[in-house]
Amino acid sequence: MNKIDALIAEMCPDGVQYTSIGSLITRTRERGKDKKDIQQVYAVSNTLGMVRVEEFRENTIHSEDTSNYTVIRPNMYAYNPSRLNIGSIAMLKNNISGLVSPMYVVFSIDERKIMKEYFEYNIRSSFVRNKIETFKEEGARFRFDFNRWEWIRIPLPPLPIQQEIVRVLDNFTELTAELTAELTARKKQYEYYRSRLLTFEDDVPRVKLVDVADISRGVRVVKKQLIPDGTYPVYQNSLAPMGYYNKYNCDANTTYVISAGAAGEIGFCDKNFWAADDCLVFSNPNGVINKYIYYFLTTKQNFIRSNVRKASIPRLSRTVIENLQIPLLSLEEQERIVTILDRFDTLTNDLTSGIPAEIEARRKQYEYYRDKLLAFKEARA
């Protein structure tokens, strides 16, 4: 019997009481105009949590007049009623009170009954997320008003049990954080070696890309031509496939550049695929390895993006790519560089075998145990 089971057997052998989230939280409506000493403005991000606006979207998301903004204090929560479905809810975890947009709902929790960390794990759980989706305002695209928290009941075990659950789940999140930090370090290392391996002195000959490979546009397809069970991915205006097709027009191990939409993005496909008309495809390379072209282009990403024409649909001219001058190395040296960078790429980007794959596995493991640990036999009233 683990510690949590032992605590349950000791403290609530007949089951755990369930209570509404609404009974555990209290909405606050302090306005900025009444607190002249509070100046910091926060925003809620669905990925970063509560952040200072100067660190989020270049400080362009709030009004100069914050008199009608709502005060938020340490350990209080804020959420956007129209974006709660994507996780736009967060707690202020630092000690600096601030202001949030009047579009947000701000509330505090009753820490005599529920730990803030236990509350946090509950509102992120699959059970609560599904309930939020179920109880959103009928007919609206999405809206979840404050009074709807009364409709969601969660288990409320004694505080020692909450504390042990938090300890177990914190171990999972700490491991994921460590892996994420390692991934960030590896990506910086990868970028350093890529730049170093592909930076050469002036005595290394260079040649325009158009002179060593055919650079052509793909062939247009429309969505109605795509099939869900097609064999070959179709790339159009982003690095994500727009769908699948039963034919291909590009061989495996081919580099391509997006010329419209996500213009300037550089891709490489290791299997046969269909390139649509917003792709610039490199074929028939002469004296260069196709993957070497790909890695070279990644070092020119900023330059390429700077030449994208900003319009309703961003576009990149083929001549920008054609005129780039690539260092012309021996095939053996190209192969050596590609082999080294492939290892880094697998480690930092591969969703099946690199660090991202391990992070994804840990995330799924965490979600499984979180939902399992937050499910209890309910005590009879």
Contacts of 167 (CB under 8 A, 6+ apart): none
Dihedral angle of Cα 365, 371, 373, 374, to the nearest 10 degrees: 160
Q: What is the pLDDT of residues 195-243, one digit of tens each?
A: 888 888 888 999 999 999 999 999 999 888 898 878 899 999 999 999 9
**Is the pTM of the predicted complex or chain greater than 0.75?**
no
**27 beta partners:** 107
**119: number of CA atoms within 13 Å, CB side?**
24
Q: What is the DSSP letter of 140?
A: S
pLDDT the model gives residue 280: 96
**Burial of 262 by CB count in 10 Å (0-12 exposed, 13-18 middle, 19+ buried)?**
middle
pLDDT the model gives residue 1: 45
pLDDT the model gives residue 202: 87
* Residue spans of the chain under pLDDT 50: 1, 58-60
pLDDT the model gives residue 368: 84
Q: What is the pLDDT of residues 157-177, one digit of tens each?
A: 999 999 999 998 988 888 888
Q: Which residue has the tokens 């780039």?
A: 324
Distance between start and end Cα atoms, the chain = 27
pLDDT the model gives residue 172: 84
pLDDT the model gives residue 305: 93
- SS3 string of 308-327? CECCCCCECCHHHHHCCEEE
DSSP string for residues in 175-236: HHHHHHHHHHHHHHHHHHHHHHHT---TTS-EEEGGGTSEEEE-----GGG--TT-SEEEES
Tell which residue, 117, 93, 116, 108, has the closest CA to residue 42. 93
Tell which residue, 127, 152, 199, 208, has the closest CA to residue 25. 152
- How would you label 321-336 residue by residue, b for 16+ Cβ within 10 Å and e otherwise? beebebbebeeeebee
Tell which residue, 230, 236, 238, 270, has the closest CA to residue 251. 270
**41 beta partners:** 99
* CATH of span 201-328: 3.90.220.20
Q: Residues spanned by CATH 3.90.220.20 within the chain?
A: 201-328
Tell which residue, 278, 290, 271, 209, has the closest CA to residue 239. 278
Q: What letter represents residue 182's amino acid?
A: E
